[in-house]
Amino acid sequence: MKSQNISKKILYWYDNNKRQLPWRNHTSQKQRQYYTLVSEIMLQQTQVKTVIPYFENFIKKIPDIAKLSKVSNKKLMKCWEGLGYYSRAINLKKTAQKIIKEYKGKLPRNINQLKSLPGIGDYTSAAIMAIAFNKPFIPLDGNVERILKRVFYLIKYNEINKKYLIKKKIFFGHSNRSSDYAQAIMEIGALICKPTKPLCLECPIKENCISYKKNNFEISSNYKFNKIKYFEAYVFVNKNRYQLVKNNKFNFLKNLLIFPMREINKQKFQSSINKRINVKMSNMDMKIVINKKNKKNIIKNSFLLDKDNIKNYILPSFTKKIFKSVINY
């Protein structure tokens, strides 16, 4: 009964406070499933405000699973350009192809079948089951974790691991509005139970929260900070064209064009007299020394890019930033 009361409170709050997000604006069950698949893949390690314009453009250009399964890699990557973790886009297309081939074009309703699709793990499969199919799953993302940590006042390291938090999800109970309920819990985490300065007075479940009663909202975390890595990028210019190579250095940017680079130590970075830039990636902070040289010989297997045509290429954000630092485009 207690969990039913909690679900009613959460859903009442959600019905009156939910955000208008484009992936919630679907007109059919088929569209709902596709929108959920695309948005959940995009939201992996990317904030909502960043995803919104990319999602809208993606749906406009690639409106359904059938078209996604047949889209050219060039068009797909252009739609994804700037969103990062490009392997997500490739996996999304592979998933669409598998759905067309093995599931008659329909997103599978079985969680184990969902997990068998490229790029879909425990969290994303649970989110799809709940949001797309209204099944009683509560995906454990950072927002839901934060709520549980505060509700139960989890401050010990052995209390904040995934297995322990999954057991604590029983607190939320279930609702026959599973789709809305999963989104409602995550919405409270995003809008109310923020990492810092939570809006506790507006929280529908504050009376059930030990942290609120103790007036202590600090959260224990096993968060790992990004590693700082140092690189030297070689900007070779040949007759006003720039030499780039296919990436084989970073797994998350597979086959995209980058400047030739090598990893260096901190001392060499700091002592360099060349231009330096900082680039914050999702998985590391890059500090890059730019070494610009005129070069007559063409690097083997390189690509020559004219500065006037740069915008026609799909490039990682740090490659673009290097370009911006050495030329105007």
Most confident stretch, 3-17, 23-37, 230-244: 23-37
Contact 192, 144 (CB under 8 A): no
Which residues lie closer than 8 Å to 258 by C-beta, 6 or more apart? 244, 245, 246, 247, 249, 250, 315, 316, 318, 319
CATH 3.30.70.270 fits 227-326, yes or no: no
SS3 content of the chain, % helix, strand, coil (to 5): 50, 15, 35
Structure tokens at 293: 């040289």
pTM, two decimals, is 0.76
The yes-or-no verdict on residue 225 having pLDDT over 60 is no
pLDDT at residue 27 in the model: 86
- Over residues 42-71, mean pLDDT: 94
- Over residues 115-136, mean pLDDT: 95
Structure tokens at 9: 């409170």
Pairing relationship of beta strands 284-294 and 302-306 according to DSSP bridges: unpaired
Place of tokens 């059919």: 28
Q: Which CATH superfamily is domain 2-214 in?
A: Hypothetical protein; domain 2 (1.10.340.30)
Of 256, 244, 248, nearest in space to 300 by CA: 244
- Over residues 240-257, mean pLDDT: 79
State the virtual CA torsion across 39, 41, 46, 51 in degrees, nearest 10: -30
The yes-or-no verdict on residue 1 having pLDDT over 60 is no
Domain boundaries, the chain: 2-214, 227-326
pLDDT at residue 57 in the model: 96
Structure tokens at 217: 């909202």
pLDDT at residue 84 in the model: 80
Give the DSSP per-residue string, 248-299. -S-GGGTT-EE--EEEE-HHHHHH--SEEEEEE-SSEEEEEEEEEEE-SSPP
Asked, colleague to colleague, whether 2-214 and 227-326 share their fold, the answer is no
Which are the catalytic amino acids?
40
Contact 289, 295 (CB under 8 A): no
pLDDT at residue 249 in the model: 76
pLDDT at residue 159 in the model: 64
- Residue 215 gets which letter from DSSP? T
- The stretches of 23-121 forming alpha helices (DSSP H) are 29-42, 48-61, 65-70, 73-80, 87-102, 111-115
Question: What is the tens place of the pLDDT at every residue in 284-295?
Answer: 788 999 988 887
The yes-or-no verdict on residue 236 having pLDDT over 50 is yes
- 212 backbone dihedrals φ, ψ, rounded to 5°: -65, -45
